[in-house]
C-alpha cells in the first residue's frame, strides 16, 4: 500500500534538494562564473559540505540502501531521501507516496535569488532566475506528476514580463514570486500587470514560498540566553521566534495585491501561499474587511473593488497550513476553499507522518471539506498546470 492509502491526494509543497553545481550547470556562460557557490554552502549548513555529496551518491547507488527505500520513505530526509536530488528516482518516490502530483520547489536558492533581486546587478539576478527555472524544469521533466515552479523576479517591469512569458512557454506550472516587497515599488504596481495577465491567460497560479520573505531581524535572538538550535541541529533554519515572523511578508503582499485591485483586474488568477502557515489567514481576512470599513469612503481604489477583501481570498488564495496548526479551525474560519495539503517532502520540517498529523488536526470538518483539503483546492489552484 502507498503512503496515501485510500486518500486521493495532491501535494502542494515538495522539493528538490539541490547539489552545489546544479544552478551553475543550467546558467548561461556569461554569468556562470559569477554565481556564488560559497553562498550555497553557507545556506546549506552542516550537512552540505563538499565531501558529503559523494557519500549521498554512493548511498543511492547501493542496492542494500535502495532495498530499504519503501520502509524508510518518510524517515530519510534531505539528500538521504529517495528522489531528493536524483531526478530519475523521484517517480519511484511518487509511486510509493501514492500522490497524484507534487508541486516542486527549490530548497536553498530562494534566499540567494531574493538577495540578487534586491541588489544592483539585475542582469545577474535574472540570469540566476533563468538558470533556476531550467534546473527545475529539467528535474520535473522525468514525470508529468512533477509540477515545476519557476521564479520570476519582480525587480524590473520589462524583464519580469519577459521572464514570465519565457517560463510559461518552457512549461512552468506555477510562477514563483518572493513574498518580500520588490525594491523600489509595490508588488501591486500596474506595470507588473503583464506578469499577472500572462499567468491568468495560461491558467497557472502565482505562488509564494517560505524563503522569499524579508530577512528576519536577528536582534530578536539577542536575549542574553544560550543560542537555540533548529530542526537540523544548527541555527540556519526555523526556530520558534523566527517562525512567528513568517506570515508578515505574505500577509502584507496579499493585502496590497487585493487593496490595489490586482485580484479585481485578474479575477481568474490564483495565488498560492506555500509553507508559510495558515493560522494567520482568518485574521488577515477580518483585518482587510475592517480596512475597507475604515477607509472605503475615502480611497478610490477601495471603492472600485466589487467584493469584500475577504471574498477575494476565498476566491483566489490557497494556502498550506503547517501540520502543527489547528487546520480544522482555519478551515472553519477561512472557508473550505482555502487550505491545501502538503508534505514538504523530503524536508525535516514536514515530519515523518504529515498525513497523520493533519488528520489529528482536521477536527470535525465534513468529508467534503476534507476532500477539498487533500484534492479539490489544489486542482482549483493549479488550473491548466494539471492538464
User: For residue range 98-153, what is the model confidence (pLDDT) as tens digits?
Assistant: 999 999 999 989 988 999 999 999 999 999 999 999 999 999 999 999 999 999 99
Give the distance, in angstroms, between the CA of residue 9 and the centroid of all CA atoms in the same chain: 18
pTM score of the predicted model = 0.95
Residue 47 lies inside a defined structural domain of this protein: no
What pLDDT does residue 214 have?
73
| CB distance 48 to 19 below 8 Å | no
Residue 113 lies inside a defined structural domain of this protein: yes
Helix axes 327-334, 354-361, angle to 10 degrees: 60
Query: Given a cut of 60, is residue 235 above it in pLDDT?
Result: no
Rounded distance between C-alpha atoms, residue 289 and residue 269, angstroms: 21
Q: What is the DSSP letter of 214?
A: P
Which of these, 38, 39, 77, 46, lies nearest to 234 by C-alpha position?
Answer: 46
CA-CA distances (angstroms) from residue 123 to 30, 84, 113, 192, 211?
Answer: 10, 30, 12, 18, 22
pLDDT tens for 312-332 read 999 999 999 999 999 999 999
Query: Given a cut of 60, is residue 234 above it in pLDDT?
Result: no
Rounded distance between C-alpha atoms, residue 97 and residue 199, angstroms: 30
Residue 90 lies inside a defined structural domain of this protein: no
Give the distance, in angstroms, between the CA of residue 105 and the centroid of all CA atoms in the same chain: 6
pLDDT tens for 81-91 read 999 999 999 99
Using the Cα atoms of residue 332, residue 333, residue 338 and residue 343 in order, give the sign of their dihedral: negative
pLDDT tens for 50-101 read 788 899 999 999 999 999 999 999 999 999 999 999 999 999 999 999 999 9
Contacts of 156 (CB under 8 A, 6+ apart): 122, 126
Rounded distance between C-alpha atoms, residue 187 and residue 20, angstroms: 31
Q: What is the DSSP letter of 239?
A: -
Rounded average pLDDT over 199-224 = 87
**Secondary structure class of 317 (helix, strand, coil):** strand
Give the total number of structural domains in the chain. Answer: 1
Residue 54 lies inside a defined structural domain of this protein: no
Q: 306 lies in which domain range?
A: 100-386
Q: Which residue has the higher pLDDT, 120 or 233?
A: 120
Rounded average pLDDT over 25-45 = 80
Q: What DSSP string describes 27-78?
A: S-HHHHTTS-HHHHHHHH-TT--TTHHHHHHHHHH-HHHHTTTTTTTTT--G
Residue 357 lies inside a defined structural domain of this protein: yes
Residue 208 lies inside a defined structural domain of this protein: yes
Rounded distance between C-alpha atoms, residue 366 and residue 336, angstroms: 10
Residue 269 lies inside a defined structural domain of this protein: yes
Mean per-residue pLDDT of the chain? 93
What pLDDT does residue 14 have?
98
Residue 379 lies inside a defined structural domain of this protein: yes
Give the distance, in angstroms, between the CA of residue 177 and the centroid of all CA atoms in the same chain: 9
In CATH, what number is assigned to the domain containing residue 350? 3.20.20.140
Rounded average pLDDT over 158-187 = 97
Amino acid at each position: 500500500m502507498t503512503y496515501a492509502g485510500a486518500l486521493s491526494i495532491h501535494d502542494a509543497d515538495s522539493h528538490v534538494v539541490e547539489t552545489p553545481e546544479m544552478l551553475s550547470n543550467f546558467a548561461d556562460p556569461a554569468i556562470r562564473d559569477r554565481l556564488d557557490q560559497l553562498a550555497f554552502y553557507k545556506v546549506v549548513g552542516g550537512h552540505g559540505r563538499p565531501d558529503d555529496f559523494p557519500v549521498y551518491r554512493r548511498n543511492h547507488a547501493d542496492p542494500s540502501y535502495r532495498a530499504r527505500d519503501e520502509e524508510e520513505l518518510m524517515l530519510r530526509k534531505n539528500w538521504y531521501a529517495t528522489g531528493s536530488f536524483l531526478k530519475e528516482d523521484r517517480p519511484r518516490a511518487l509511486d510509493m507516496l501514492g500522490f497524484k502530483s507534487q508541486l516542486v520547489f527549490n530548497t536553498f536558492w530562494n534566499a540567494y535569488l531574493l538577495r540578487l533581486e534586491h541588489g544592483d546587478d539585475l542582469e545577474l539576478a535574472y540570469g540566476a532566475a533563468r538558470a533556476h527555472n531550467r534546473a527545475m524544469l529539467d528535474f520535473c521533466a522525468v514525470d508529468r506528476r512533477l509540477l515545476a515552479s519557476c521564479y520570476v523576479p519582480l525587480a524590473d517591469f520589462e524583464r519580469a514580463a519577459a521572464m514570465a512569458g519565457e517560463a510559461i512557454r518552457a512549461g512552468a506550472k506555477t510562477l514563483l514570486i518572493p513574498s518580500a516587497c520588490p525594491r523600489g515599488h509595490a508588488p501591486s504596481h500596474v506595470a507588473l500587470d503583464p506578469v499577472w495577465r500572462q499567468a491568468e491567460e495560461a491558467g497557472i497560479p502565482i505562488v509564494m514560498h517560505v524563503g522569499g520573505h524579508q530577512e528576519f531581524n536577528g536582534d530578536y535572538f539577542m536575549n542574553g540566553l544560550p543560542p537555540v538550535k533548529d530542526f537540523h541541529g544548527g541555527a540556519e533554519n526555523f526556530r520558534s521566534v523566527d517562525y512567528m515572523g513568517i506570515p508578515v511578508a505574505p500577509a502584507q503582499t496579499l493585502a496590497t495585491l487585493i487593496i490595489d485591485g490586482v485580484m479585481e483586474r485578474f479575477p481568474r488568477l490564483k495565488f498560492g501561499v506555500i509553507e508559510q502557515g495558515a493560522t494567520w489567514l482568518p485574521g488577515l481576512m477580518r483585518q482587510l474587511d475592517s480596512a475597507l470599513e475604515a477607509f472605503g469612503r475615502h480611497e478610490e481604489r477601495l471603492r472600485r473593488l466589487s467584493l469584500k477583501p475577504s471574498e477575494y481570498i476565498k476566491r483566489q488564495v490557497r494556502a498550506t497550513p503547517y501540520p502543527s496548526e489547528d487546520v480544522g479551525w482555519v478551515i472553519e474560519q477561512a472557508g473550505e476553499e482555502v487550505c491545501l495539503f502538503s508534505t514538504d517532502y523530503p524536508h525535516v520540517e514536514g515530519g515523518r507522518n504529515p498525513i497523520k498529523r493533519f488528520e489529528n488536526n482536521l477536527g470535525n470538518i465534513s468529508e467534503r471539506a476534507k476532500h477539498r483539503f487533500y484534492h479539490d483546492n489544489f486542482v482549483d489552484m493549479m488550473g491548466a498546470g494539471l492538464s
